[in-house]
Structure 1
Amino acid sequence: MSSSNDKEDGKKEDASLSEEFLRELDDALKEPVCPECVMCGWCCKQTICYYGQWNYNRHQCEFLTDDNLCSKYEEIVNYEKSIKLEVGLFGSGCCLNYANPDRIELLKRRNGEP
């Protein structure tokens, strides 16, 4: 027969295991799971992010530069730091559709493939 102390110890152990599991899960979810961004610009030519603005004449985000960079990069990074955002817009890799034709072409050129 178990005592009330055994039950309390079991509850404490379950709670700490749950807390530990949740911390590990939270850390795992913060890990980038997408392949690196190769700056093909495809994502900004399909839709806009939270900070973007669509340019209907160019069919892409207003802030996408000719060399496929975000012209608001510094502003966005500084803002996200100021609000202590743990996972920011940049640095997560290519998660929209990393099998897109622009990305594949850029990777082929980077690797010297025809």
Structure 2
Amino acid sequence: DYAAAGIPMMPVVAGERSTRRQVLGYSVLLLATALLPWAISGTGIIYGLAALVLSGLFVALAVPVGLRQSGPDDSMKPEKRLFAFSVLYLFALFTALVADRMVLA
């Protein structure tokens, strides 16, 4: 769809395999980045645990996306599951950040 419309989305520009590998790679980087505020003592245990659990789940959901190949009649269930979780991830992580600040204050 994007290719036909001339929209330069990653699967069109770099290919499906590269895009899937990047999803997995960036998910691992997300885990490290999310833990950084806790690692440098910028947040407390509430945020640290939430970041660890949520980011670990994010990586776990990204593994099937990164390692599979889609077929012609693919429903893209792993991709849809990861996308849905990404919305929850942001909400939950920011909620943990606020809760952590309220407890530390």
Global fold match (TM > 0.5): no
Q: Which has the larger radius of gyration?
A: 1
Normalized against structure 1, the TM-score is what? 0.25
